[in-house]
């Protein structure tokens, strides 16, 4: 099977997983080991966390990582698993819409069949891009994927709630603009209150993605509200790094090893990593 044929098949499979009421559940990964563990746990797809991936490569999150470094990591993840992969590409690793199109071509070459593109801005100034500017970037992503013949799933991230930069009405206005520009779904991190989530489900004419973590409604509760996609973002990576800190401090301060209990069996993990694909 050619690379292009495999991409199209995985893209169609990934797209079909977004069903309101039966959400695609994504425990986000940041490297090949976490991706294989997520796949082994039964996930129907693997999605990357840009923050976790940046930290793994020694960079801060927030458009600090280069496109080449980010997508090289995505390529390793896509090669390591048999399920579809969606890449969190932050703001598109580009200054303008044409650059976003270039990024999408690189995403496809890396083997991913979905992307998250956020509307937040970094480096001062306004917290969010103007709707028209972000819509142009999404349209460029859509055009690049269509030209390649791959039905890439474009998940438009709206950061109104995450950044305290808007309310429900503002969020829905952005969602309308981004879907019209070619996005397939809408991701609204920071919105977990059931009343708000239900209003978003009812107001967004496409699959809604909710970011979850401690204190958020359960997957079952979100499914009952009509959510189509649930993801953990950087939380699993943060939990893993939290374990590293606790284990290191315990060892250095107390000389004990309690934090290491419950780790994966060496042979099991080694076999999973070296099981040849």
**Residue 29: per-residue pLDDT:** 98
Strand partners, 153: 114
Length of the chain: 277
Q: Which of 198, 256, 250, 184 is nearest to 227 (CA)?
A: 198
State yes or no: pLDDT of 251 exceeds 90.
Answer: yes
User: Can you list the positions of beta strands (E) in 16-165?
Assistant: 24-26, 46-47, 85-88, 114-118, 153-157
Mean pLDDT of 171-181: 98
Half-sphere exposure in the Cβ direction for 229 (13 Å, CA): 31
13 has pLDDT over 60: yes
Q: Evaluate whether residue 88 is within a structural domain.
A: yes
Distance CA 163, CA 161 (A): 5
Note the pTM of the prediction, 2 decimals. 0.96
Q: Has residue 155 been placed in a domain?
A: yes
Q: Check residue 276 and give its pLDDT.
A: 40
- Looking at residue 194, which CATH number applies to its domain? 3.20.20.60
Per-residue confidence at 275, pLDDT binned at 50, 70, 90?
A: low
- Assess if residue 265 is contained within a domain: no
Structurally, the chain folds into a number of domains equal to 1
Taking alpha carbons only, the member of 133, 155, 130, 132 closest to residue 142 is 155
Contact 92, 117 (CB under 8 A): yes
| Arithmetic mean of pLDDT, 228-257 | 98
pLDDT at 277: 40
> Residue 46 — φ and ψ, nearest 5°?
-120, 130
Say if 266 falls within a structural domain.
Answer: no
18: containing domain:
3-238
Average pLDDT (58-66) is: 94
């Amino acid at each position: 099977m050619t690379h292009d044929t495999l991409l199209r098949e995985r893209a169609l499979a990934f797209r079909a997983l977004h069903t309101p009421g039966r959400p695609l559940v994504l425990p986000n990964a940041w490297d090949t080991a976490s991706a294989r563990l997520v796949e082994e746990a039964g996930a129907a797809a693997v999605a990357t966390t840009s923050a976790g991936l940046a930290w793994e490569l020694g960079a801060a999150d927030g458009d600090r990582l280069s496109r080449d470094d980010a997508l090289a990591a995505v390529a390793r993840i896509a090669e390591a698993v048999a399920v579809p992969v969606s890449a969190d590409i932050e703001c598109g690793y580009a200054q303008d819409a044409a650059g976003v199109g270039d990024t999408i071509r690189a995403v496809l070459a890396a083997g991913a069949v979905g992307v998250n593109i956020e509307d937040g801005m970094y480096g001062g100034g306004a917290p969010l891009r103007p709707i028209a500017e972000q819509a142009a970037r999404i349209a460029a992503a859509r055009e690049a994927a269509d030209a390649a013949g791959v039905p890439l799933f474009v998940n438009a991230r709206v950061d109104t709630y995450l950044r305290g930069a808007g309310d429900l009405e503002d969020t829905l206005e952005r969602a309308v603009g981004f879907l019209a520009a070619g996005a397939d779904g809408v991701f609204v991190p920071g919105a977990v209150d059931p009343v708000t989530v239900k209003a978003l489900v009812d107001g967004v004419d496409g699959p809604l993605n909710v970011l979850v973590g401690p204190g958020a409604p359960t997957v079952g509760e979100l499914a009952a509200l009509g959510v189509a996609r649930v993801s953990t973002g950087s939380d699993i990576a943060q939990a893993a790094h939290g374990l590293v800190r606790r284990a290191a401090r315990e060892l250095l301060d107390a000389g004990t090893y309690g934090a290491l209990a419950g780790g994966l069996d060496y042979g099991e993990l080694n076999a999973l990593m070296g099981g040849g694909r």
